[in-house]
Amino acid sequence: MVDEVILLDYWPSMFGVRTRIALEEKNIKFDYIEQDLCNKSALLLEMNPVHKKIPVLIHNGKPVCESLIQVEYIDETWPRENPILPSDPYQRAQARFWGSFIDKMLPGLGKLMWGVKGEEQEAGKKEFVEMLKMLESELGDRTYFGGETFGYVDIALIGFYGWFDAFEKYGNFSIEAECPKIIAWAKRCVKRDSVAKSLPDSEKVTELVPELKKKKRVG
């Protein structure tokens, strides 16, 4: 039986990037269906009736929701090529911890990107930079978070890289000045075909932000 794999996604999504990279790492062919988040498709609503959000991975008609869960599902379903999670239980638990930690950067980013100017934005920027510095400390001098092997934590974080230019522009700061090792790590990741194919164009993301801000105000 040939696997039918479909991804419901939105091109600038830092979460959808995770799933795209995982599929590319495993050399899994998939159909990509772009979603209009202001006019959600019947398929999206059917496949994710609880949260009604992208990305949704559909494997042989069955939906899997939430990007990090999708990454684990992909790794377990197609285990032979390019393992994503470590085989050691402790290292696997640590990888999951840092994946969860990365998702906790979202409140700070929300204040940085969508909050009002002034103290709220500065607080969001400070929170984001502090968390990046903790990730930088965890990375240390390794090539990837898993050592010499590109894996779960790298996939969890690299989706944010396509948004770094926008964060810098609207937050008026330099991520490279604050966290140079994170930028060096990201540049290494982008040399991988799976990442280069999957990341959104940072200029297009930055150009999109005013439109997204407007939609948030209207919403």
pLDDT at position 216? 63
pLDDT at position 210? 86
Residues in CB range of 68: below 8 A, 6 or more apart: 18, 99, 100, 103, 156
| Domain map (residue ranges) of the chain | 5-77, 89-217
Q: How big is the CA angle at 213 (ends 211 and 16), to the nearest 5 degrees? A: 80
**The residue type at 48:** N
Pick the closest to residue 15 from 93, 70, 52, 73 (CA basis).
Answer: 70
Q: How big is the CA angle at 10 (ends 215 and 113), to the nearest 5 degrees? A: 45
Across the chain, which has 219 residues, the per-10-residue mean pLDDT values are: 92 97 98 96 98 97 98 97 96 98 85 75 88 97 97 97 93 94 98 98 94 64
pLDDT, one tens digit per residue, over 77-95 is 999 999 999 999 999 999 9
Place of tokens 């290494």: 188
pLDDT at position 122? 84
The CATH code that applies to domain 89-217 is 1.20.1050.10
pLDDT at position 109? 81
CA distances from 108 to 10, 79, 85, 175 (A): 22, 35, 27, 14
The fold of the 5-77 domain, in CATH, is Glutaredoxin (3.40.30)
Helices (H) and strands (E) in the chain, counts: 12, 4
Helix (H, G, I), strand (E, B) or coil at 144: strand
What is the maximal distance between C-alpha atoms in the chain? Answer: 57
Contact predicate 23/7, CB 8 Å? yes
Which residues are registered as beta bridge partners of 64? 57
For residues 205 and 195, give the distance between their C-alpha atoms in angstroms, rounded to a whole number: 16
Query: What phi and psi, each to the nearest 5 degrees, are found at residue 57?
Result: -95, 125
Helix (H, G, I), strand (E, B) or coil at 189: helix
Residues in CB range of 194: below 8 A, 6 or more apart: 21, 24, 25
